[in-house]
């Protein structure tokens, strides 16, 4: 974990800020709330805040970081849209249903934050987190909040250090010469000889109630510097593929380390297959299995992840079909009854496994409990909403068309990332 730099900007504390400090010093705990603004009427990308990014709704990345930071007395999403509200609640947030007055295209973030503060008088400090910053980690929030709670600042904003040479803009067709804004062209510095400039990265802003009530004027300001790899901000659709690659490498995937996954339980119908059963004239049942999915299973097996294919009582496989699937995939095929969670738990007990060591791939309402409990869980792209909301990863691929391969690659990527982090931690321990 790289240590972030913190510096005071400017500002003068007023009477309200000194009163807030007196309350803190007297031992009374302040209520700190995380607030994510997620209006439904995004102009750049429709419903951008719940669009899937690397298998997770965009807003889910910052909600997971906020909840897991354990720094907040409450975590909120402010929205005017029903679908965003459902996703927010599924990811552990309370919902502030904003008024029409602050849901207009012309409404500012400050308007909404002030409305939230007015309706929630118990809140003393608000951490406004941008939903469009999916590489935010809990340690960023913890360290920045300590600048408020321990160092006495009244406002903290996140920044990133950039090494960009800027020039004055000139209107097209004009004859006015442009001028350099932050460099001498005759003495252009090398990157290593220039500290660069600090720019807002839009990840989060933390304010005391007093600062919000006076329109963000005055007070004692500070910045929290984040490294460039964590400074991702999505505004337009063209940012999406770049952000997806960045978040897979630098995003926060939860408290449990993914390298502990030792077992994948995967539904046959609706995950490995598209859910259809073909019946021949002679009555023989057939299903279609994609070779990409079977290759994904073998990739996991090579990394010592056991894969068991499961079939529920509602999708019973014939013994011949189960035997053929087992032979083709190299996996055990198990028939489960109506109590899927109970039978999965018994299976885990037999193998001495905990939920965090299990990855589960389901596709419908009967799988919801297991999707919620498993350390890693996924659903195909065409799964119903009830399953998508319970899963930790939503595949781009549909059932029977590469979804199992995609989830297998996701598991292996997280294992690789975790092993790399463990190696880095070992190097740091041996160095210092």
79 contacts 40 by C-beta, under 8 angstroms: yes
Give the whole-angstrom CA distance, residue 304 versus residue 286. 30
Interstrand relation of 155-162 and 197-208 (parallel, antiparallel or unpaired): antiparallel
User: H-helix or E-strand containing 69?
Assistant: helix 58-69
258 alpha carbon, distance to own chain's centre = 15
Q: Indicate if 276 belongs to the active site.
A: no
34 contacts 72 by C-beta, under 8 angstroms: yes
Interstrand relation of 155-162 and 221-226 (parallel, antiparallel or unpaired): parallel
Q: In whole angstroms, how large is the CA radius of gyration of the chain?
A: 26
Q: Which of 7, 18, 97, 188 is catalytic?
A: 188
The burial class, CB within 10 Å (0-12 / 13-18 / 19+), for 43 is exposed
Torsions phi, psi for 138 (to 5 deg): -55, -35
Query: Closest Cα to residue 65, out of 159, 144, 4, 122?
Result: 144
Q: Which residues are catalytic?
A: 188
């Amino acid at each position: 974990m790289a240590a972030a730099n913190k510096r005071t900007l400017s500002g003068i504390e007023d009477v309200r800020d000194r009163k807030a400090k007196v309350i803190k010093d007297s031992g009374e705990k302040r209520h700190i709330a995380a607030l994510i603004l997620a209006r439904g009427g995004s102009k750049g990308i429709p419903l951008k805040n719940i669009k899937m990014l690397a298998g997770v709704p965009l807003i889910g990345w910052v909600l997971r970081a906020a909840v897991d930071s354990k720094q907040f007395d409450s975590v909120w999403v402010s929205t005017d849209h029903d679908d965003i509200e459902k996703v927010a609640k599924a990811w552990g947030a309370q919902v502030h249903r904003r008024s029409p007055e602050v849901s207009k295209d012309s409404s500012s973030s400050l308007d909404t934050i002030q409305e939230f503060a007015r309706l929630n008088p118990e809140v003393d400090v608000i951490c406004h987190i941008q939903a469009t910053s999916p590489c935010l980690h809990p340690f960023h929030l913890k360290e920045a909040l300590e600048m408020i709670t321990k160092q006495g600042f009244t406002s903290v904003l996140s920044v990133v250090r950039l090494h960009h040479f800027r020039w004055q803009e000139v209107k097209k067709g004009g004859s006015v010469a442009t001028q350099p804004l932050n460099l001498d062209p005759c003495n252009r510095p090398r990157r290593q000889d220039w500290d660069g400039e600090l720019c807002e990265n839009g990840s989060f802003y933390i304010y005391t109630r007093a600062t919000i009530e006076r329109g963000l004027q005055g007070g004692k300001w500070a910045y929290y510097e984040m490294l460039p790899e964590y400074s991702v901000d999505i505004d337009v659709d063209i940012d999406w593929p770049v952000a997806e690659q960045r978040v897979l490498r630098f995003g926060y995937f939860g408290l449990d380390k993914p390298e502990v996954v030792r077992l994948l339980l995967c539904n046959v119908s609706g995950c490995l297959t598209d859910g259809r059963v073909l019946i021949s004239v002679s009555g023989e049942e057939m299903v279609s299995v994609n070779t990409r999915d079977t290759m994904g299973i073998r990739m996991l097996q090579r990394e010592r992840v056991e894969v068991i294919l499961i079939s529920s009582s509602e999708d019973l496989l014939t013994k011949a079909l189960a035997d053929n699937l087992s032979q083709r995939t190299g996996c055990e095929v198990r028939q489960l009854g109506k109590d899927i969670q109970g039978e999965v738990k018994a299976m885990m007990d037999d193998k001495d496994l905990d939920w965090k060591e299990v990855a589960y791939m389901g596709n419908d309402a009967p799988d919801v409990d297991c999707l919620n409990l498993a350390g890693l869980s996924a659903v195909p792209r065409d799964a119903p909403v009830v399953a998508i909301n319970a899963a930790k990863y939503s595949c781009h691929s549909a059932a029977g068309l590469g979804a199992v391969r995609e989830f297998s690659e996701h598991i292996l990527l997280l294992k690789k990332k975790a092993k790399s982090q463990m190696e880095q931690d070992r190097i740091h321990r041996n160095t210092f």
